[in-house]
């Protein structure tokens, strides 16, 4: 299995079921904001209906009617979109991978592809109305929404703890691999140095060398 895959259809739920140690994090609807938007939307539609039957259409009333209808439909559509988003989207972690997406399509990314460089916590997109993490790995840009005007991730602290735990584990594994490689290189260099060292057994024996002091010989 490849380290990054885009799952579709039944494969999404099957993967969530089969992954060992899977933890699912769902989005929760922002009830105060959605309630306010729905209320304003319904009031706008009601005002448009009253305006139509009481004042009729023509001139200023036509423009007001169009504005009220557009505002009401936009707000109600936003509430509907937010409800579907919170119901379908999720983030999940397992012993082997991270899953991000919805019930129909989701990315499956194995932990070795997720590092502190590819998942930049410090560069998290943050504004008063939304926040998200950006995962850039294997040529893909995967957005992980934290909160939006209409929904937010539940158990956010636990999710962040899971992410940091796996990031630290992967970092330690990489350091261990680098240490092993360095030890192997050092061992190879030592072996090469020993093999190139001169052999003392081939050196001439001092006992067999002639006397270099001729003065010690008598005529």
DSSP 8-class letter at 142 = E
9/99 Cα distance (integer angstroms)? 14
In which band, very low, low, confident or very high, does the pLDDT at 128 lie, cut at 50, 70 and 90?
A: confident
Q: Among candidates 4, 64, 25, 7, which has minimal Cα distance to 159?
A: 25
pLDDT of residue 50: 93
Residues near 107 by beta carbon (within 8 Å), at least 6 away in sequence: 4, 5, 6, 7, 99, 100, 101, 140, 142
pLDDT of residue 219: 33
- Please say if the pLDDT value at position 58 is more than 90: no
* Per-residue pLDDT reduced to its tens digit, 132-170: 999 999 999 999 999 998 999 999 999 999 999 988 776
pLDDT of residue 125: 79
In this structure, of 61-70, 83-92, 114-123, 128-137, the range with the lowest mean pLDDT score is 114-123
Q: Considering the chain, what is the average pLDDT of its residues?
A: 82
Record: fold of 4-31+75-167: PH-domain like (2.30.29)
pLDDT of residue 94: 94
Residues near 99 by beta carbon (within 8 Å), at least 6 away in sequence: 7, 12, 15, 16, 19, 90, 91, 92, 93, 106, 107, 108, 109
Residue indicated by tokens 């109600």? 76
Residue 146 near residue 132, CB atoms below 8 Å = yes
pLDDT of residue 123: 77
pLDDT of residue 1: 56
* Per-residue pLDDT reduced to its tens digit, 82-101: 999 999 999 999 999 999 99
CA–centroid distance for 163 within its chain: 8
**182 or 152: which leads in pLDDT:** 152
In this structure, of 2-11, 21-30, 164-173, the range with the lowest mean pLDDT score is 164-173
Whole-model pTM: value is 0.70
Domain ranges of the chain: 4-31+75-167
In which band, very low, low, confident or very high, does the pLDDT at 171 lie, cut at 50, 70 and 90?
A: low
pLDDT of residue 116: 87
pLDDT of residue 120: 80
């Amino acid at each position: 299995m490849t380290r990054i895959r885009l799952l579709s259809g039944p494969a999404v739920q099957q993967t969530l079921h089969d992954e060992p140690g899977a933890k699912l994090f769902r989005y929760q609807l922002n009830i105060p904001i959605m309630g306010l938007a729905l209320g304003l939307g319904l009031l706008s539609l009601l005002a448009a209906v009253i305006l139509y039957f009481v004042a009729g259409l023509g001139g200023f009333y036509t423009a007001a009617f169009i504005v009220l209808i557009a505002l009401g439909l936009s707000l109600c559509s936003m509430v509907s979109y937010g409800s579907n988003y919170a119901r379908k989207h999720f983030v999940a972690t397992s012993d082997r991978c991270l899953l991000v997406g919805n019930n129909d399509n989701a990315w499956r990314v194995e932990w070795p592809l997720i590092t502190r460089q590819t998942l930049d916590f410090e560069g998290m997109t943050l504004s008063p109305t939304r926040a998200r993490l950006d995962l850039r790995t294997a040529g893909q840009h995967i957005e992980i929404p934290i909160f939006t005007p209409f929904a937010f991730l539940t158990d956010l602290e636990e999710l962040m703890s899971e992410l940091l735990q796996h990031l630290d584990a992967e970092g330690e594994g990489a350091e261990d691999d680098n240490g092993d490689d360095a030890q192997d290189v050092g061992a190879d260099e030592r072996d090469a140095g020993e093999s190139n060292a001169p052999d003392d057994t081939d050196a001439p024996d001092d006992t067999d060398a002639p006397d270099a002091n001729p003065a010690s010989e008598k005529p």
